């Protein structure tokens, strides 16, 4: 399932929150053009460990409306700072080790601008977009993780109705 979110800089409504497998080729195709010679990408992949514990899977949920608005702001900010085109996708639901959780593609005339914009978008997405991650460990326990990756959230779990 895909939701309309994270609008591209040119103003098109493109679904970017999805429960489907992410595809880098599709994301790069959204930013390519003959005048853009540099394309930078970031892929965040589910790893098999966290803080010395074995991770078997993750669950992502989001506050969809707020995530859409904040992603739109971040993409707009990137395109104001650099002459780039940016596309973003974030996967929701249950992901296994090795699955891609988030992808960013940025294209510009030159590589430096593409790299800078790509880095800016993923850092701001992790810091500002209301997407929550729950880690499931091999020992059977699970924990919510702060959206900015600051560690276990304890009682800071998604608000009721936020999970999809």
Structural domain spans, the chain: 2-145
Residue 127 has pLDDT above 50, yes or no: yes
Q: What is the pLDDT of residue 158?
A: 55
* Residues 74, 121 contacting (CB under 8 angstroms): yes
Residue 163 has pLDDT above 50, yes or no: no
- Cα separation, 32 vs 21, in Å, equals 21
90: left (phi over 0), alpha (psi -120 to 50) or beta: beta
Q: What is the pLDDT of residue 52?
A: 95
Angle at 82 between CA 2 and CA 21, to 5 degrees: 20
- Mean pLDDT for 31-49 is 97
Q: With bands split at pLDDT 50, 70 and 90, how would you rate the model's confidence at 42?
A: very high
CATH class label, 2-145: alpha beta
Residue 149 has pLDDT above 50, yes or no: no
Q: Determine whether 115 is exposed, middle or buried from the number of CB atoms within 10 Å of its CB (0-12, 13-18, 19+).
A: middle
In percent, how much of the chain has pLDDT > 90?
A: 70
Distance of CA 155 to the CA centre of its chain: 23
Residue 134 has pLDDT above 90, yes or no: yes
Q: Dihedral sign, CA of 93, 96, 99, 104?
A: positive
Residue 164 has pLDDT above 50, yes or no: no
Q: What is the pLDDT of residue 146?
A: 74
3-state helix, strand, coil in the chain (%, to 5): 25, 35, 35
Reduced to 3 states (helix: H, G, I; strand: E, B; else coil), residue 71 is helix
Both structure tokens of 140: 């059977």
Distance of CA 51 to the CA centre of its chain: 22
- Averaged confidence pLDDT in the chain: 85
50-82 pLDDT, tens digit each: 999 999 999 999 998 889 889 889 999 999 999
Both structure tokens of 121: 């978008």
Both structure tokens of 76: 């707009």
């Amino acid at each position: 399932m895909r939701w309309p979110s994270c609008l591209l800089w040119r103003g098109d409504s493109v679904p970017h929150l999805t429960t489907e497998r992410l595809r880098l080729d599709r994301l790069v195709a959204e930013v390519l053009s003959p005048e853009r010679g540099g394309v930078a990408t970031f892929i965040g992949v589910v790893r098999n460990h966290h803080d010395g514990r074995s991770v078997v899977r993750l669950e992502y949920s989001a506050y969809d409306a707020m995530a859409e608005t904040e992603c739109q702001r971040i993409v707009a900010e990137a395109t104001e700072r650099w002459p780039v085109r940016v596309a973003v996708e974030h996967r929701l639901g249950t992901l296994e080790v090795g699955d891609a959780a988030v992808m960013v593609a940025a294209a510009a005339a030159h590589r430096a601008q593409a790299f800078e914009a790509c880095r800016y978008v993923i850092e701001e997405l992790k810091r500002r977009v209301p997407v929550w991650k729950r880690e499931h460990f091999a020992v059977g326990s699970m924990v919510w993780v702060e959206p900015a990756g600051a560690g276990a959230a304890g009682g800071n779990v998604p608000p009721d109705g936020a999970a999809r």
